[in-house]
Structure 1
Amino acid sequence: MSGLLPVEDAQQRLLALAEPVEPETLPVGDAAGRWLAEDVAARRTQPAADLSAMDGYAIRFAECPGPWTVVGESAAGSPFERRVEPREAARIFTGAPMPQGPDTVMVQEEAARDGDTLRLDGEGPSRKGGNVRRKGRDFAEGDILIDAGTKLMPPALALAIAGGHGTLSVRRAIRVALISTGDELAPPGEPTEIAQLPASNGPMLAAQLAGLPVKIDDIGIVPDMREALAKALDAAAGADVIVTIGGASVGDRDLVRPALETAGAEIDFWRIAMKPGKPLMAGRLGEAMVLGLPGNPASAFVTAKLFLEPLIAHLSGAADPLPRFRPARLAAELPATGTRTEYLRGRWRDDAVEALSQQSSASLAALAEAELLVRRPAGSAAARAGDTVDILPLA
């Protein structure tokens, strides 16, 4: 562990340390935002019958342009029950079942009706089966609608319901304990001395995880004392993930790693070839995952984006938990990089991206301004305006 571990290797090692948590069955309305623990198969066919795609008249295409005799109507939830014979038609509404006999819908704008007599008044349907949604066009009973490991976003949730499901098997919420370390930290809103800082990282990370299925236990601010850290780790018992913020470097007062090892933790890796965020630490303490994040706010945010969020997604059963970068065009040049992969805080400028001028890991103002991260691999040559870079949107 003396060298710096590449980011991709560290991410894979982190995810390999733990398996997804156990599933639970929830009503569909409570399952939004969770990851599926098993495939969702259709329990019904949709549409369950041939349906009209338009308001109009159900006819036989071969009988165009008519005339027909209108013998009834079919509406959604109230189908026309008897068979429609040749030269007969049925008034029909969007979403209504097609009656037996007709094979096509003539839209009402092209229908000329005089009493019960109906004729085509226009070009009419272009083909047999026109304006009809065929049975099973969306899905058939037994089809796999959603794969295990998929996050239940609103359309997927609606699909599961349409497939006949009232409950779903999903991974339970992840219990996360946050421990902010440092003698210099003061509670939010409290007066600060010249050597103090408001403790902003804990609330920032809690907000960062708000869109994930987590239960946050903020242990609070812990001074740089081994005894205090030991008590905080005891208080975090029962968590799936223990996140320490600060104190993971190599200074005399960076006591998180020694405290974890004293408590019985096994540290898998420490120090990553990334900027910001080099002093990242990961391991296990009993049944819990441990992730030690740096104390500077930009470092804490970036490492949480690249490691903590994917870890939560992995424990939640995500099939693809790692963040997805995408290409974008540079608006301004960037210098060559050194021996670490750089994650520059950036923003959009029209349809291109630019790095913010302030890249200090301690700068909260620049972090708050950032709309995206620009990834620059280690050893990259200087980039010019118009070059393509990888970005990770932050919203």
Structure 2
Amino acid sequence: MISLTEAHRCISMLESLQPVRIPLDKALGLVCAEDVYAVHNCPTVDSSLKDGFAVVSSDIAEASPSHPVTLAVTGSLTAGDEKAGVHVSSGTAVRIMTGAAVPQGATAVLASEFAEVSGAAVTITADSRIGLNILCKGSDIVQHQRVLAQGEMLGPAHLGLLAAAGVKEVICYPVPRVAIAATGSELVWPGDPLTEGKVAASNMVTAAAELQAMGITASTVLVRDNLYTLHEHFQDIVRQVDMLITCGGVLDGDKDLTLRAMEQIGMVKIFHRVRIGPGKGACMGMVGKTIVFNLPGGPPSNHVALLLLALSGVRRLMGFLDCLPRKKQVFVSEELVGQTDWTQLVYSRVHSAGGSLHAVPLSNLTRFAAMAKANALIELPEGCAVIKKGSLAGAWFYPGYF
């Protein structure tokens, strides 16, 4: 049996999946496996920030409503037009749209609200300094500069940045292939009739939903309490996935056959039993290159082990260097009593008030109600017998909170 810290250290040492080249439209939520560099400048030319007129700024240095300046309009440019052959010289102006390339000779762009067109001439009523309303070539992105670093997760704005930098594909860690096997002859598929003694496979549903929130569609299967059946299913599954998560069968009862079946197919244990409550029975191992997390069957034990252990393993496969759940200090609203021999986890609801985080333990709720309402697990670490009301404590947050 190992501590939670030791279990996290084991998970953090897992190797990420082999990187692959991914098109931008498929890369959302993935992690860069290498630094990414700009293919070209952005913008590729000096371009206009306004609809207006490209001018020589010295021509209109004295322009004002009381002293307007009139210039000859010699052409026009819109975004995407070639600027070759379009030129601005003293005494002339070129009509220009936002995003269009600034023509040769122009030193500023005057916004259209300060200009009035009459035939082939424009009357200017405001001055313009050199460079006004011009976005210089490479001012957003310089060709060959590093735009993203290895280990960064790609969000929507990151993908926009890469597109602006001329990047079509990015080397990323791929989405892991994950299977969830819920074991137990008492289990039925959610929605099927619950005859006496049967239980819906809620652990499987929760785990699949957590993975779905990470962009992973896991395959799911129910397996009866039969050593041969478990052996056959597990042996088949591990050949097809990067990670197998099992629910149930990790204790020492006559029907707790999961670990026996895993041993039969050659699983090498990395750890078995973690000093946490709930979740103590969790096991992690490997069958070949496939990572296996064997989680307890009791809903709170399964859920805590999923949040603190298995999902961390998934994130590590996805290339996250910091793969552990987010942990922050919170003020607890009531006294909590722990077990000095292991780390106790308490479902809680955390909210922000007055610039700090405050946690309300949910010990008065039923198991499923507490799991559903909570957004964090207050930690009473090994050796901590009591956390006083109003004291600070560490809290592990559900994915997506704080």
**Matches of 2:344 and 2:57 in 1, distance apart?**
65
- Kept in 1: contact 2:187–2:222 (CA 8 A): no
Partner of 2:360: 355
- Kept in 1: contact 2:378–2:393 (CA 8 A): no
Partner of 1:22: 18
Alignment of 1:242-321 (within 5 A): 242-321=244-323
Letter of the structure 1 residue corresponding to residue 277 of structure 2? K
Partner of 2:66: none
Q: 1:107: Cα distance to partner? A: 1.8
- Kept in 2: contact 1:56–1:105 (CA 8 A): yes
**Matches of 1:255 and 1:393 in 2, distance apart?**
30
Q: 1:182: Cα distance to partner? A: 2.2
Q: 1:49: Cα distance to partner? A: 1.0
Instruction: Confirm whether residue 74 of structure 1 aligns to residue 77 of structure 2.
Output: yes
Kindly report the root-mean-square deviation, in angstroms, between the aligned alpha carbons of the 2 structures: 2.7
Q: 1:375: Cα distance to partner? A: 4.0
Q: Which structure 2 segments of 5+ residues have no match?
A: 64-68
Letter of the structure 2 residue corresponding to residue 183 of structure 1? S
Map Cα deviations across residues 162-199 of structure 1 (whole Å, 9 max, x no partner): 22233333333322221212233223223334433111
Partner of 1:184: 186
Q: 1:252: Cα distance to partner? A: 4.0
Count of residue pairs brought into register by the alignment: 386
- Kept in 2: contact 1:222–1:232 (CA 8 A): no
CA 1:27–1:269 in structure 2 vs 1: closer, same or farther (change >3 Å)? same
CA 1:318–1:381 in structure 2 vs 1: closer, same or farther (change >3 Å)? same
CA 1:267–1:256 in structure 2 vs 1: closer, same or farther (change >3 Å)? same
SS of the aligned residue for 2:263 comes to helix
SS of the aligned residue for 2:177 comes to strand
Mean CA deviation greater in 183-192 or 320-329: 320-329
From 100, 105, 108, the counterpart of 1:104:
108
Identity of aligned residues (%): 28
Q: 1:85: Cα distance to partner? A: 0.7
**Matches of 1:85 and 1:119 in 2, distance apart?**
16
CA 1:376–1:51 in structure 2 vs 1: closer, same or farther (change >3 Å)? farther
Q: 1:90: Cα distance to partner? A: 1.9
- Kept in 1: contact 2:11–2:312 (CA 8 A): no
Partner of 1:345: 347
TM-score, reference length from structure 1: 0.87
- Kept in 1: contact 2:11–2:316 (CA 8 A): no
CA 1:154–1:349 in structure 2 vs 1: closer, same or farther (change >3 Å)? closer
Letter of the structure 2 residue corresponding to residue 27 of structure 1? P
Partner of 1:142: 144
- Kept in 1: contact 2:380–2:387 (CA 8 A): no
Letter of the structure 2 residue corresponding to residue 76 of structure 1? A
From 152, 171, 174, the counterpart of 2:173:
171
- Kept in 2: contact 1:179–1:218 (CA 8 A): yes
SS of the aligned residue for 2:260 comes to helix
Partner of 1:364: 368
SS of the aligned residue for 1:203 comes to helix
Alignment of 1:7-156 (within 5 A): 7-16=4-13, 18-63=14-59, 64-66=61-63, 67=69, 68-81=71-84, 82-122=86-126, 124-125=127-128, 127-156=129-158
- Kept in 2: contact 1:73–1:80 (CA 8 A): no
CA 1:146–1:202 in structure 2 vs 1: closer, same or farther (change >3 Å)? same
**Matches of 2:294 and 2:287 in 1, distance apart?**
12
**Matches of 1:316 and 1:183 in 2, distance apart?**
33
Mean CA deviation greater in 212-221 or 134-143: 212-221
CA 1:263–1:356 in structure 2 vs 1: closer, same or farther (change >3 Å)? same
